[in-house]
Amino acid sequence: MTHVVLFHHALGQTPGFHAFADRLRAAGHEVTAPDLYAGATFTDLDEGVAHARATGFDVVRQRGLDAAADLPDDVVWAGMSLGLMPAQTLAQTRPGARGALLLHGSVPPEALGSPWPSGLPAQVHVMEHDDWGDVDDCRALAAAQDEVELFLYPGAGHLFTDASSVDHDPAASDLLLKRVLAFLQRVG
pLDDT in tens, 33-69: 999 999 999 999 999 999 999 999 999 999 999 999 9
Q: Are 63 and 36 in contact (CB under 8 A)?
A: yes
Query: What percent of the chain shows pLDDT beyond 70?
Result: 100
Range of the structural domain that residue 35 is part of: 3-187
Per the structure, the count of domains in the chain is 1
* Pair 109, 116: CB distance under 8 Å: yes
pTM of the model: 0.97
| pLDDT of amino acid 80 | 98
C-alpha 55/C-alpha 22 separation (Å) is 28
| Pairing label, strands 76-80, 3-7 | parallel
Looking at residue 47, its pLDDT comes to: 97
Q: What pLDDT is stored for residue 113 in this prediction?
A: 87
Coil, strand or helix at 129: coil
pLDDT in tens, 117-153: 999 999 999 999 999 989 999 999 999 999 999 999 9
